[in-house]
Amino acid sequence: WMYAEWKTDTAYEVSSRIRYGDKLYRCVQSHTSQDDWTPDATPSLWVEVSVEEYPEWCQPTGVHDAYNTGDKCTYNGQRYDVTRINNRAFLNCTGLSSVVISDSVPVTYIGTNAFQGCTGLTSVLISDAVPINLIGTSAFQGCSSLVTVTLPDVLSSIGTSAFQGCSSLTNISIPNSVTNIGANAFQGCSNLSSLSLPSALTGIGNFAFEGCSSLSSISIPNTVSIIGDSAFVNTALYNN
């Protein structure tokens, strides 16, 4: 193996890999090792990993064994690198309660139906430095418990039906980098009451905010050249 053996009185950083006995471990919390903090006895500091380049995917049980940037795995015969969230990755994962994508995870893409039907999901936080430029079609559709969403500053497009049916959504921060909001993107977000659209926005798709019955205040920048059919039908704006 091309990894050093674990030693005491040694500083280890997150994602460091070491050997201990006949097993390989990855550091999950920065620390300086002590005699009684051996990798096999401290799951809060170390998680055992496979020596294979693309080991079989295992469901994480918490932060201590979550996948990190650069990790690789095999799932249903396909190989994955942790740089994108693929289509249907978490489809109908009703037990998922929050999504946090930090600066250390260079996710570039959230795919079609990636979190669709995650009815237990309440919050989504994507750090500003994460290079995601697209929220895919129906990525969060039907996440009926989703309340707050924070998106990164580099995002350019919110896909068709991306947040459709997120009926509990009360607050979403759309960054100024977004130029397009797709058709049906926020359709049926009945608790969304106010929204400030980004200064670079040029297009709002058909039915984008249809059925947002609480939406009574919205600021549309003069850069918008296209507002699709029925974009604001059945909102407080339309009804007034």
The Cα–Cα gap between 174 and 109 comes to 17
**Per-residue confidence at 66, pLDDT binned at 50, 70, 90?**
low
Q: Which of 42-51, 55-64, 89-98 has the lowest mean pLDDT?
A: 55-64
Whether the pTM exceeds 0.85: the reply is no
Query: What is the average per-residue pLDDT within 154-173?
Result: 93
User: End-to-end CA distance of the chain, in Å?
Assistant: 69
**β-sheet with 98-101: strand ranges across:** 98-101, 123-126, 148-150, 171-173
CA distances from 238 to 184, 189, 204, 216 (A): 16, 15, 15, 9
pLDDT of residue 65: 58
pLDDT of residue 1: 47
Q: Which residues contact 98 (CB under 8 A, 6 or more apart)?
A: 121, 122, 123, 124, 125
Question: In 76-122, which ranges are E strands?
Answer: 78-81, 98-101
Q: Is the pLDDT of residue 89 over 90?
A: no
Q: Is the pLDDT of residue 148 over 80?
A: yes
pLDDT of residue 133: 86
Query: What is the average per-residue pLDDT within 210-237?
Result: 92
Q: Which residue has the higher pLDDT, 16 or 6?
A: 6
pLDDT in tens, 174-192: 999 999 999 999 999 999 9
Q: Which residues contact 114 (CB under 8 A, 6 or more apart)?
A: 85, 86, 87, 88, 89, 90, 91, 136, 139, 140
Q: Which residue has the higher pLDDT, 130 or 187?
A: 187
Residue 230, sorted as left (phi over 0), alpha (psi -120 to 50) or beta, turns out to be: left
- The secondary structure of residue 236, as a DSSP letter, is H
